[in-house]
Amino acid sequence: MNKKQNNASGRLLNFLGENSVPIMFVIIVAICIPISGFSPKFLLNEIITRMGRNVFLILSLLIPIMAGMGLNFGMTLGAMAGEIALIFVSDWQIWGIPGIILAMILSIPISVVMGIMCGKILNASKGREMITSYIISFFTNGLYQLLVLYMMGSIIPIIHSSIKLPRGYGIRQTVGLLNMRQSLDNLLALRIAGVKIPVLTFIIIALMCLVIVWFRRTKLGQDMRAVGQDMEVARDAGIDVERTRIISIVISTVLAGFGMIIYLQNMGDMATYSAHSQIGMFCIAALLVGGASVDRASIGNVFLGVVLFHLMFILAPTAGAKITGDTMIGEYFRVFISYGVITVALVMYETKKRKAKAGMGHLLEAAQREEEKANA
Partner 1 sequence: MSDHVPLLEMKKVAKDFFGNQVLKDINLKLEAGEVLGLVGENGAGKSTLMKILFGMTEINETGGYDGEVLFNGKVLHFTSPFDALAEGIGMVHQEFSLIPGFTATENILLNREPQKKSVVSEVFGERLNTLDRKSMKQKADGAIDKMGMHIDGNMVIADMPVGHKQFTEIARELSKEQLKLLILDEPTAVLTEQEAEVLLQSIRGMASRGIAVIFITHRLHEIMSVCDKVVVMRDGVLVHDVAAKDTSIPEVTRWMVGRSVNIDAQTHRKPPETPTIMSIRKLWVDMPGETVRNVSLDIREGEILGIGGLAGQGKLGIPNGIMGLYNAGGQVTFDGKEIPLNAPRRCLDSQLAFVSEDRRGVGLLLDESLEWNIAFPAMQIHNKFLKNYLGGLIKWRDEKAIGEVTRKYIEELQIKCTSSKQKAKQLSGGNQQKVCLAKAFALNPKFLFVSEPTRGIDVGAKALVLEALKKFNRENGVTVVMISSELEELRQICDRIAIVSGGRIAGILPATSSSEDFGTLMVSKVV
Partner 2 sequence: MSDLRNAGTGWQERLVSAYKSFGLPRMIIAGMLVVLLIAAPLVGANFWMQITNVINRFSWNSVLVLAMVPMVHSGCGLNFGLPLGIISGLLGATISLEMGFTGPMSFVMAILIATPFAILFGIGYGWLLNKIKGGEMMIATYVGFSSVSFMCMMWLLLPYRKPDMVWGYAGTGLRTTISLEGYYDQILAKFLQIRIGSLVIPTGSLLFFAFLAFLMWAFLHTKTGTAMTAVGSNPVFAKAAGINVDKMRMLSVVLSTWLAAIGILVYQQGFGFIQLYMAPFNMALPAVSAILIGGASVNKASIANVIIGTILFQGIVTMTPTVMNNAIHMDISEVLRMVVSNGMILYALTRKTEAKS
Per CB under 8 A, residues contacting partner 1 are 214, 217-220, 222-223, 225-226, 229-230, 232-234, 236-239, 359-361, 364-365, 367-368, 371
Q: What is the DSSP letter of 160?
A: -
Nearest to 309 by CA among 59, 37, 55: 55
Name which of 164 and 225 has its Cβ closer to partner 1. 225
Rounded Cα distance between 295 and 301, Å, is 13
Counting residues that bind partner 2 (by CB under 8 A) gives 40
- 54 close to 308: Cβ distance less than 8 angstroms: no
Q: What is the DSSP letter of 332?
A: H
User: How many residues comprise the chain?
Assistant: 376
Site for partner 2 contains 124 (CB under 8 A):
yes
How many Cβ atoms from other residues are within 10 Å of residue 185's Cβ? 22
In degrees and rounded to multiples of 5, residue 318 shows phi and psi of -70, -50
Determine the Cα angle at 77 with ends 73 and 78, to 5°. Answer: 105
Q: What is the DSSP letter of 195?
A: E
- Name the one range near partner 2 by CB under 8 A: 40-48, 82-90, 107-115, 345-353: 345-353
- 48 close to 196: Cβ distance less than 8 angstroms: yes
Name which of 155 and 192 has its Cβ closer to partner 2. 155
Please choose which of partner 2, partner 1, none residue 18 contacts, taking the beta carbon within 5 to 8 angstroms, the exact cut-off set by kind.
none
Going by DSSP bridges, is the β-strand pair 190-192/174-176 parallel, antiparallel, or unpaired?
unpaired
Please choose which of partner 1, partner 2, none residue 343 contacts, taking the beta carbon within 5 to 8 angstroms, the exact cut-off set by kind.
partner 2
Site for partner 2 contains 139 (CB under 8 A):
yes
Site for partner 2 contains 88 (CB under 8 A):
no
Name which of 30 and 211 has its Cβ closer to partner 1. 211
Site for partner 2 contains 271 (CB under 8 A):
no
- 51 close to 201: Cβ distance less than 8 angstroms: no
Please choose which of partner 2, partner 1, none residue 351 contacts, taking the beta carbon within 5 to 8 angstroms, the exact cut-off set by kind.
partner 2
223 Cβ partners below 8 Å, 6+ apart?
A: 234, 239, 244
Please choose which of partner 1, partner 2, none residue 349 contacts, taking the beta carbon within 5 to 8 angstroms, the exact cut-off set by kind.
partner 2
- Name the one range near partner 2 by CB under 8 A: 31-39, 46-54, 299-307, 344-352: 344-352
Greatest CA separation for the chain: 94
Site for partner 2 contains 131 (CB under 8 A):
yes
Q: In angstroms, give the least distance from the CB of 295 to partner 1.
A: 9
Name which of 191 and 217 has its Cβ closer to partner 1. 217
Q: In angstroms, give the least distance from the CB of 69 to partner 2.
A: 13
Residue 40: is it exposed, middle or buried by C-beta count within 10 angstroms (0-12/13-18/19+)? Answer: exposed
Nearest to 138 by CA among 274, 251, 277: 277
Name which of 141 and 174 has its Cβ closer to partner 2. 141
Site for partner 2 contains 165 (CB under 8 A):
no
- Name the one range near partner 2 by CB under 8 A: 28-36, 187-195, 222-230, 326-334: 326-334
Name which of 179 and 351 has its Cβ closer to partner 2. 351
Site for partner 2 contains 240 (CB under 8 A):
no
Name which of 141 and 186 has its Cβ closer to partner 2. 141
Residue 43: is it exposed, middle or buried by C-beta count within 10 angstroms (0-12/13-18/19+)? Answer: middle
Q: In angstroms, give the least distance from the CB of 290 to partner 1.
A: 21
E strand or H helix at 190, and its extent?
A: strand 190-192
Name which of 167 and 362 has its Cβ closer to partner 1. 362
Torsion of CA 79, 81, 83, 88, to 10 degrees: -170
Q: In angstroms, give the least distance from the CB of 105 to partner 2.
A: 28
Side-chain-side CA neighbours of 216 within 13 Å: the count stands at 12
Q: Which residues bind partner 2 (CB under 8 A)?
A: 121, 124-125, 127-128, 130-132, 134-136, 138-139, 141-143, 145-146, 149-150, 324, 326, 328-329, 332-333, 335-336, 338-340, 342-343, 346-347, 349-351, 353-354
